[in-house]
Amino acid sequence: MTLAEEFRSRNFSIYGQWTGVLCIFLCFALGVANIFHANFVIAFSIVCLVCSFVIIFIEIPLLLRICPTSPKFDTFIRKFSSNYMRAAIYLGMSVIQWVSIVAMATSLIVAAVFLLIAAIFYALAGFKGQEFQGSKTLGGQGVAQMII
């Protein structure tokens, strides 16, 4: 299945996964950009940076095979294999970034919006009864098993 065919499949988990990949870049860039504030925003930018690395392992399953990680971390990441669990973690990360407005309104709001969009896509996939379908481009559907 090509990337265009994946998007035409109308499977919301594919949309969620690609929005999650966008969130990786946004969280990393905005976390670095906001780490230089002289107030409590620093804590939220560090959380945003950590979220970017967690999302990398959630959305690109191939990395769990090739990166040396601990068994505890692998177990934690594997909990997010269903649409509802992914929606929950994205919603949690989004709420944390929305709370950053209390300290100061910064560009972390953009990360909060896109994390919320990813959560909505995964929740829609769950509500519609769609099975999680990982993108082949990102290492889903047997690509990780072919390496070993």
Residue 4 lies in a domain: no
Residue 118 lies in a domain: yes
> In the predicted model, is pLDDT for residue 14 greater than 50?
yes
What does the pLDDT look like over 37-95, one tens digit per residue? 878 889 999 999 999 999 999 988 888 888 888 889 888 988 888 899 999 999 999 99
DSSP 130: P
Q: DSSP for 83-125, please give it.
A: HHHHHHHHHHHHHHHHHHHHH---THHHHHHHHHHHHHHHHHH
Give the pLDDT of residue 82.
87
pLDDT tier for residue 20 given thresholds of 50, 70 and 90:
very high
* Chain mean position to CA 123: 13
Domain that holds residue 109: 10-147
Residue 140 lies in a domain: yes
Residue 57 lies in a domain: yes
Over the range 14-27, which residues count as b (16 or more CB within 10 Å of their CB) and which as e?
bbbbbbbbebbebb
Residue 1 lies in a domain: no
Q: What is the dihedral sign for C-alpha 6, 12, 14, 16?
A: positive
Give the pLDDT of residue 85.
93
Per the structure, the count of domains in the chain is 1
pLDDT over 70, % of the chain: 84
Residue 48 lies in a domain: yes
Residue 63 lies in a domain: yes
Give the pLDDT of residue 146.
42
Residue 111 lies in a domain: yes
pLDDT tier for residue 123 given thresholds of 50, 70 and 90:
very high
Average pLDDT, the chain: 85
What does the pLDDT look like over 131-142, one tens digit per residue? 877 666 666 555
